Amino acid sequence: MLLKLKKKENDQINTEDLSAQLKDCSEKKNFYLLSIQAMLQFIKDFSLDLKEINSYEFKDEISRLSDKLTGETKLKKIQSSFEKGKKGIAAYISLQKKYLVDREGEFKDIIDILTNAMVNLDIDNFKNINDIHGHQIGDRVIMTFVNKCRQPIRGEDFFARYGGEEFVIILPGASLKNAVKKANHICKSVTSTRYRLDDDHDGQTLRVTISIGVSCHQKDDTTTSVIQRADKALYAAKHAGKNCVYAEKDVKGYSGRFFQPPTLKRHFLP
């Protein structure tokens, strides 16, 4: 920033004016830095935890960029470093978007081919697990959760990760009643499991719960409508307190994530 130095009549620099400009420069730098750091934290928080797209490495890179910016003393240096980091951020956002679009396309293809039930599963408060215990513990929780889900499903069933902590099971030929029954089994199995952290935690264990929404293919259904009904049921389960299963028939009239359905039926509550 160019400092315009005014001189008094005796050709001496006006120190009061200089002090005011320096303060203004510092405030601008601090505001700019605070804005960038808030944005970087937002990007980290809303990035999915997916090894397939190296999300952990990306979050580490964001942390390093934030630390580097904090250490800079000049506004132009902060701006220059951020401009260099923006390309990597944009590339990762595009990669994550493509990953989700590809997964959604795969699920739509399967639903189009098969008459089936769809089970959406989401690990409750998974972000808190990562934040408190670290990503390694989070990964171990997911691996154990995946094993729990695979035990009751058949060879022809399709099980996959849909997002960071969200999974989907496609049950070919299954009725809504049978799909709910299987969802209940998985929900109870996960809830009854205690996840041992590691030797450094003196035998401390972690309790994990999941929320599940279930829908079933109906006449004249589209791929989108099946997914939407399963999502609505999942949102209802989350809104009802988590750790439970909701079927599509129990959420008729449920129009959004934050609307409290008046007569929902909870299939499982320990």
Catalytic machinery residues? 165
Please, what's the b/e burial string for 159-188 (b: 16 or more CB within 10 A of its CB; e: otherwise)?
eebbbbbbbbbbbeebebeebbebbbbbbe
| Dist. CA 249–CA 108, nearest whole Å | 22
Q: How many CB atoms lie within 10 A of CB 18?
A: 14
From residue 159, give the alpha-carbon distance in Å to each of 55, 61, 150, 173, 240: 22, 32, 8, 15, 25
| Concatenated DSSP letters of 98-166 | HHHHHHHHHHHHHHHH--EEEEEEEETTHHHHHHHH-HHHHHHHHHHHHHHHHTTS-TT-EEEE-SSSE
Q: How many CB atoms lie within 10 A of CB 22?
A: 12
